[in-house]
Amino acid sequence: MTCTDPESLHGIAWLACYLSSGKHMLFYSSFGTVLLLLAITAPVSLAFGFMGAMAARAGFAPLRWLGLAYTSVVRGVPDIVFFLFFVIALDQGIEYLRHEALCPGWTEPVRQGNDFIVCPEAKAPLSTAPQWVHEVYNFMLAVFTFAIVFGAFAANVLIGAMRAVPRAQMETAEAYGMSRRQAFWRILVPQMWTYALPGLSNLWMILIKATPLLFLLGVEDIVYWARELGGSKNPRFSSYPHGDWRIYYFLALLVFYLALTKVSEVGLGRLTRRLSHGQATAAGEAMRKAGA
């Protein structure tokens, strides 16, 4: 079967050719982009959250203020504002620092009216770089931005979880002669996950649903391609003319997102059971009784 002359094809053969066009391949690979974003963003956000929570509990006041400022400011700013403003600021910040470092002899101002101009060597990435480098760079900016936003929420969840670990556990650790640091890492951290998990699993679900924001950051995600492919195609500009098919593409996205959240629910349920094991919580107690 060849797809060189789609007009002569009908039914399944036409559909098979249509669904394997170059543009559809880009659509399918954008699912990978979304999954990759989730796979990288989740652990990075958790790391940001953990650092934020540790900072917010720190004994050293300025560090504590920093941690509290991070969680309250980032959580208070609407996501979309953050995504529109922060990313441009971050990109220009990186270019400005590179400009200062790489082009000391440059005399023209960086801001000229509306324009933001750095020397060609300071562009991030260089304008000579191939397109995929630009795409990877945009993707990294997206991961970083998502991680900051979701890290702030995760920090708040983790602060709560750390407080929820029974005080008696820490007192016992101290009675055994552990230092504050030892008690934190050996007693508090292993036990806090069971309290953090409900909040973190909420965040994970919200993160999955927030991935269409990628398009705002110039990353061509599944929503972009669904809209592009679903829009009506004229026979003069496409070998596969069709009407407005957006509904079918968006239904496919609906199925994808529902499947992803369902799989997550099952996975998180298992994790919850595992973390409850041997814990001084109602769930842990129930498991102990069932096992006995």
Partner 1 sequence: MMMKKLFTFGAALALTAGTAMAESHAQTVRMGTEGAYPPYNFLNDAGEVDGYERDVGDELCKRAELSCEWVTNDWDSIIPNLVSGNYDTIIAGMSITDERDEVIDFSEAYFPADPSAFASMSDSFDGTGVIAAQTGTIQASHVASMEGATLIEFATPDETVAAVKNGEADAALADKAFLEPIVAEDAELMFAGDDVVLGDGIGVGVRESDGELKEKLNVAIASMKEDGTLNTLIEKWFEGMKGPY
Q: Which residues bind partner 1 (CB under 8 A)?
A: 21-23, 25-26, 88, 91-92, 95, 112-118, 120, 123, 126-128, 130-131, 134, 215, 218, 220, 227-228, 231-232, 234-241, 244, 246
Nearer to partner 1, 108 or 265 (CB): 108
When computed from its CA atoms, the radius of gyration of the chain, rounded to whole angstroms, is 25
Nearer to partner 1, 79 or 228 (CB): 228
Nearer to partner 1, 202 or 232 (CB): 232
Q: State the nearest-atom distance from the C-beta of 108 to partner 1, in Å.
A: 8
Three-state secondary-structure class, residue 112 = strand
Nearer to partner 1, 107 or 234 (CB): 234
3-state helix, strand and coil shares in percent for the chain, rounded to the nearest 5: 75, 0, 20
- Contact predicate 199/127, CB 8 Å: no
Q: State the nearest-atom distance from the C-beta of 267 to partner 1, in Å.
A: 33
Nearer to partner 1, 8 or 127 (CB): 127
Distance CA 19, CA 229 (A): 10
Q: State the nearest-atom distance from the C-beta of 74 to partner 1, in Å.
A: 23
Q: Is 238 exposed, middle or buried (0-12, 13-18, 19+ CB in 10 A)?
A: middle
* Nearest alpha-carbon partner for 138 in 129, 151, 150, 125: 125
Nearer to partner 1, 212 or 284 (CB): 212
Distance CA 76, CA 168 (A): 34
Q: CA-CA-CA-CA torsion for 6, 10, 12, 16, nearest 10 degrees? A: 0
Compute CA distances 289 → 92, 165, 190, 224, 277, whole Å: 58, 21, 22, 51, 11
Q: State the nearest-atom distance from the C-beta of 251 to partner 1, in Å.
A: 16
Nearer to partner 1, 235 or 267 (CB): 235
* SS3 per residue for 143-179: HHHHHHHHHHHHHHHHHHHHHHCCHHHHHHHHHCCCC
